[in-house]
Amino acid sequence: MTRFVRVVFISTATALFQVGCATSLHEPANLDLHKQELRRYVDSGRYLKDVAAVSAEAKAWITQRAAHRAPGERLGLVMDLDETLFFNWPEIQAAEFAYDPIRWNAWIAAAAAQPIEPVREIYELARKNGVEVIFITGRRERQRDATVVNLQRIQCADYAVLICRPVDSQGTAAAFKTATRKQLVQEGRVIIANIGDQQSDLSGGFAERVFKLPDPFYLTE
């Protein structure tokens, strides 16, 4: 093999190897592009439109179920708070979608979250139909006071109970919320609907119907 042929062969083989390496990669979507996509999802109104679609289904079910209440039934609606009733989008995007405990705790302490309106309508409908509202949140017990203030500020203070996660609670959010719903049922409530933005809000049973709201911003297990 002449020197020229060897050079061409080596160069060609190197190029093929480089191309092969490039095509065999499985690079995830660029993070900045994904952040832009999330901002467009909210800013375009599509996020609230999707929330409203789920909320309409929940309201139809609650209205129907309350109308067929059995004598003596104590009907309850379980709701999550963050990204279910509370709209934390200003803080989420300001933090660039990162979880900073100091920032997040300061945001909660400010009690400044606005309501997600289609979900507040569910709350109002439930109360109008004599359905108790129970809030079960992953917020810790030390954040109760600020959470109560925030609920008052958005005119959602007519609830039966606010259940925060104990400060020393271990394990998953799903396990905590399932155990809490089980206790509510054992106390005599019939949970006709459970509404949340995370699968961990809804898994585990102890509710007649579950309604999953969109939340592509973070994941809680």
Long-range pairs of 119-122 with CB within 8 A, sequence gap ≥ 24 = 119/51, 119/55, 119/79, 119/84, 119/85, 119/195, 119/213, 120/85, 120/154, 120/155, 120/156, 121/55, 121/59, 122/55, 122/58, 122/59, 122/62, 122/77, 122/79, 122/195
Rg (CA), the chain: 24
pLDDT band at 150 (very low <50, low <70, confident <90, very high): very high
CB 209 within 8 A of CB 61: yes
At 40-74, the pLDDT tens digits run 999 999 999 999 999 999 999 999 999 999 999 99
* Percent of the chain surpassing pLDDT 70: 89
Mean pLDDT along residues 115-144:
98
CA distances from 146 to 12, 104, 186 (A): 67, 13, 29
pLDDT of residue 8: 36
Name beta bridge partners: 86: 82, 115
pLDDT of residue 115: 98
pLDDT of residue 12: 41
* Percent of the chain surpassing pLDDT 90: 87
Q: Is the pLDDT of residue 10 over 50?
A: no
At 95-127, the pLDDT tens digits run 999 999 999 999 999 999 999 999 999 999 999
Pairing of strands 114-115, 132-140: unpaired
Q: 45-212: which CATH topology?
A: Rossmann fold (3.40.50)
Tokens 């606005």 locate to: 114
Does the predicted TM-score (pTM) go above 0.95? no
Nearest to 192 by CA among 20, 58, 87: 58
pLDDT of residue 191: 98
Instruction: Please name the helix (run of DSSP H) or strand (run of DSSP E) that holds residue 144, with its range, or none.
Output: helix 144-153
* DSSP assigned state of 97: T
Report domain extents, the chain. Answer: 1-44, 45-212
At 194-215, the pLDDT tens digits run 999 999 999 999 999 999 999 9
At 16-40, the pLDDT tens digits run 444 444 566 888 989 999 999 999 9
How big is the CA angle at 132 (ends 180 and 216), to the nearest 5 degrees?
60
